[in-house]
Amino acid sequence: MNGRAKSTRTSAVAAAVPEKRRRQSPDERRAQIIRESINFFSEHGFAGSTHDLAKQIGVTQPLMFRYFESKDDLIDAVFNAVFTQRWDSQWPKLIRDRSLPLRERLVRFYNSYLKVVFNRDWMRLYVFAGLSGVEINRRYFRILEQRILMPLCEELRAEYRMASAVDIPITEDELDYVWSFHGGIFYHGIRRCAFGTSTDHELSQTVLDVTIDAFINAAPHAIGRFTAKTHRS
């Protein structure tokens, strides 16, 4: 009886003592800091202090900066996690895949692309970066322009059997035309995910299809005007 009572008391004491938390590995701690930083910067912008960030994470600033040399280094890690790692290497290949009609390529691309960028963290980080003068926007612009939009200019020429970019270099007006098309689709996500105004619903497939159709149908006339303007110059 005494032995059973002692055993019961021992079990009760053991249950009252909280289990020791497993210590995180350096890789796990670094990943945690990046995750929390994404949440913090998407809420407060990149001007938010690292003191407040460390407090939110539940670590000290010195510990945080054992994993990142500076705030800029941490922002680079956030850029890599949110923008670079979510970039699909198949997107540029799809844009240039001439075994498919260009319209189908664009529908497939945007259905895939918008699933990545149309979320609160992505959009708010993108907007805050522009407001704060952080390099993220310019870096992302270069990636998007070089890998998607400039190739799309070339594919429009090919689709309508117009002069190649070798014969007549892609004009600034052509690139602006493609940027305007892309920006019109993109801005739906800005309104819904970043600002939470006027648009609280997903971009419908019908609207996406109509937008792509209007762009493609107007493209030969637009490109003709842009290239003619180059010749006159």
- The contacts of residue 148 (CB under 8 Å, 6+ apart) are 91, 92, 95, 109, 182
Give the domains, in start order, of the chain with CATH numbers: 24-83 (1.10.10.60), 88-232 (no CATH)
**pLDDT (0 to 100) of residue 18:** 52
**pLDDT (0 to 100) of residue 233:** 53
For residues 36-54, average pLDDT? 92
Query: Residue 20: is its pLDDT beyond 80?
Result: no
Q: Kindly state the tokens that stand for 203.
A: 């971009």
pTM reported for the whole predicted model: 0.82
User: Chain centroid to CA 213: how far?
Assistant: 25
For residues 64-83, average pLDDT? 93
Average per-residue pLDDT for the chain: 88
Query: Residue 13: is its pLDDT beyond 70?
Result: no
